[in-house]
Amino acid sequence: MSLKAPCLFILFLASFQVLAQDPFENINSKYDEQNPVLSPDGKTLYFTRSNHPQNVGGVIDPGDIWYSNINPDGTWSEPVHPLILNNSGWNGVLGFVGGSDVMYLFNHYNESGGAVKTQGISRSLKTTSGWSFPTNITVPYYKNLSKSHGGNILPDASIMVVSLESYDSRGGEDIYVCFNKGNSQWSEPKNLGSQINTRYQEFSPFISNDGKTLYFSSNGHETSGGTDMFKAERLDDSWQKWSVLEPLDQMNTEGKELGIHVYDGFYLYTSTLNSDGYADIKMFRDVDVVEPKMDTTVMDSTLLKGIAIVEDEPIVDDKLITLFGEVKEEGSNKPLNASISLKSTSDSLISTVQSTKGSYALKIEAIGIYRVSVEAPGYVSHQELLELRSNRINSFEMNFELQAIKVGTKVNLKDVLFKQSKTEFLESSYPELNLVVKFMKENPKVEIRLEGHTDNRGVAKYNVKLSKERVEAVKSYLVKKGISRKRISGKGYGGSRPIADNNNSETRVLNRRVEFTIVKN
């Protein structure tokens, strides 16, 4: 069993006690670091870095997402720049939902690489190939005229708080709350009122897991410097009545403090005081700070509904959580009535459920490895591996897009993998290969063209040869399983058709792939 999250938090805190130098020495730079967000498993620290020459927009880029992984000794690795999560706008992590594999992001993305003309939030899922390209989520009347961004989303995706310079802002940026209405539908931003917002600027809010304590930065209240951090308690459900603001004097300086995130026993935030660049990531440990536990909630297929659980419930391996999400048609977002099946790694059926108007929910054990299959008549079946290793979460979201069975549909067999420079399958490839066999048998009129691709490293002619041989390996497997050879053609393209940046080790792997295209139906 993997290391539990609380142990990772202890490791995180230990780094501040053991190291004499700045524990963020590998992270803070002469550039602007802001919006530090720790993954729920405690292994990865995400942050936004501005004006770095490696950013998508170069030195004029307002901010890209970077991340660093924790080392066994408690230090942090050299930061990595994930291209798939970044564009030329301001990019930052809003938070995680249901665990470390569902990430919400500020702003929208354009998969074609063109200008982004809409605003809102986005969602990326961690797959076997890394983070998926973010899916845009529309929030009604979400508008931010400011270059500053900030906020967070609760782990059950029920609430998010954001700072915006928008329609009814009282000055510069104000703080707003949005509520999840289910089915990826959000309420319009609601201004938190004059007790919080002033005619000046309120930045980077953070709401505690129980939805009651608000942390934020402001230059519109009495402060010890230009911009300081405060907290306030929500007094009712109107989100307009708040306790007297309490300045976080233990961290406030004559510099500018922003981007606070609260964890068990410590704060992460950004400050311009004694910074290597414009702003650096800081940490303040406070043993009196204990992030409140939220009333455990789950989602049904259409709307968030709270179900209270005893907070002191012992942690046991057989705890059940809710797996939920949506099934839509790729390209149109049309909701699909599909069958979602969970199997063990030994292929034993655990559970199955039908989605209704695209939405589904079912109970599963909180710790386990599952193979999730999604099927709908007229669509190419989809399969993913789901690995859950924490019984401290209460729900987990998985969304799927199915491709229609029609001529021209291209399917990436992302889990069909080979040993390096060979045509021998890795063991993990067989479930997806068998899914292709099942698809071909259930659709006897379908004919496909297999296409093999590599990255651009090495000699081009050898890459073409290898990609052809891998196509033949897939074809041979399908034929051995009873599929007529006449229904399968194929070609190897080597590294001539990349779908991702070959100069980045994280995205290069996406170019090493086998696909099939439906050529007859």
Token pair of 2, please?
């993997």
Between 293 and 473, residue with greater pLDDT: 473
**CA distance linking residue 420 with residue 417, whole number of Å:** 9
Over residues 328-339, the pLDDT tens digits come to: 998 887 889 999
Q: Which of 20, 2, 7, 23 is nearest to 284 (CA)?
A: 23
- Give the confidence band of 159 by pLDDT, cuts at 50, 70, 90: very high
- The number of residues in the chain equals 521
Helix-then-strand count for the chain, H and E: 4, 35
Lowest-pLDDT choice from 13-17, 203-207, 366-370: 13-17
Q: In this predicted structure, what is the pLDDT of residue 305?
A: 25
Claim to verify: residue 342 and residue 454 sit in the same structural domain? no
Give the residue from 353, 384, 404 where a domain finishes: 404
Over residues 406-422, the pLDDT tens digits come to: 999 999 888 887 777 78
**Mean pLDDT in residue range 431-451:** 93
Claim to verify: residue 91 and residue 183 sit in the same structural domain? yes
Claim to verify: residue 474 and residue 335 sit in the same structural domain? no
Q: In this predicted structure, what is the pLDDT of residue 314?
A: 39
Residues 360 and 301 sit within 8 Å (Cβ to Cβ): yes
Claim to verify: residue 280 and residue 315 sit in the same structural domain? no
**CA distance linking residue 239 with residue 242, whole number of Å:** 8
Give the residue from 248, 264, 285 where a domain finishes: 285
pTM over 0.95: no
Lowest-pLDDT choice from 51-55, 106-110, 304-308: 304-308
* Sign of torsion over alpha carbons 141, 38, 56, 460: negative
- Give the confidence band of 295 by pLDDT, cuts at 50, 70, 90: very low
Q: In this structure, is residue 125 part of a structural domain? A: yes
Claim to verify: residue 332 and residue 420 sit in the same structural domain? no
Query: Cα angle at 99 between 96 and 101, to 5 degrees?
Result: 75
Q: In this predicted structure, what is the pLDDT of residue 318?
A: 53
**CA distance linking residue 191 with residue 176, whole number of Å:** 4
